[in-house]
Structure 1
Amino acid sequence: MPLDSTDIRLLAALQRNAQMTAQELGDALNLSPSQAGRRKQRLETEGYITHYAARLDPNRVGLAVQAFIQVQLGTHGAENARSFATLIQARSEIVSAWTMTGEADYLLRCWTSDLAGLNSLIHDVVLAHPAVARVQSQIVMEQLKVDAPLPL
Structure 2
Amino acid sequence: MDIDAIDRRLLAALQKEGRITNAELAERVNLSPSACHRRVQRLESEGYISGFVALLNARRLGRPTTVFVEITLSGQADELLEAFERAVTTVPDILECHLMAGSADYLLKVIAEDTEDFARIHRRHLARLPGVAQMHSSFALRTVRQTTAIPV
TM-score interval (norm. to shorter): over 0.9
1:60 match: secondary structure: coil
Deviation at 1:60, TM superposition (A): 1.0
- 1:136 is matched with 136
Deviation at 1:120, TM superposition (A): 2.2
- For residues 62-141 of structure 1, what are the structure 2 equivalents within 5 Å? 62-141=62-141
Give the Cα separation in 2 of the matches to 1:78 and 1:118: 29
Deviations 1:31-89 (A, max 9, x none): 11111111101101111100111111111111021110000001221111111111110
The TM-score, its normalising length taken from structure 2, stands at 0.95
Which consecutive residues of structure 2, in runs of 5 or more, have no partner in the other structure? none
- Alignment check: 8 A CA contact 2:98 2:107 kept: yes
Give the Cα separation in 2 of the matches to 1:110 and 1:127: 14
Deviations 1:88-114 (A, max 9, x none): 100110001100011100000011112
Give the Cα separation in 2 of the matches to 1:117 and 1:82: 27
Give the Cα separation in 2 of the matches to 1:142 and 1:111: 13
- Alignment check: 8 A CA contact 2:83 2:130 kept: no
Q: Quick check: 123-132 or 39-48, which moved more?
A: 123-132
1:3 aligns with 2:3: yes
Give the Cα separation in 2 of the matches to 1:53 and 1:115: 28
Count the aligned residue pairs.
152
- Alignment check: 8 A CA contact 2:69 2:108 kept: yes
The runs of at least 4 consecutive aligned structure 1 residues that moved more than 4 Å come to none
Give the Cα separation in 2 of the matches to 1:5 and 1:18: 19
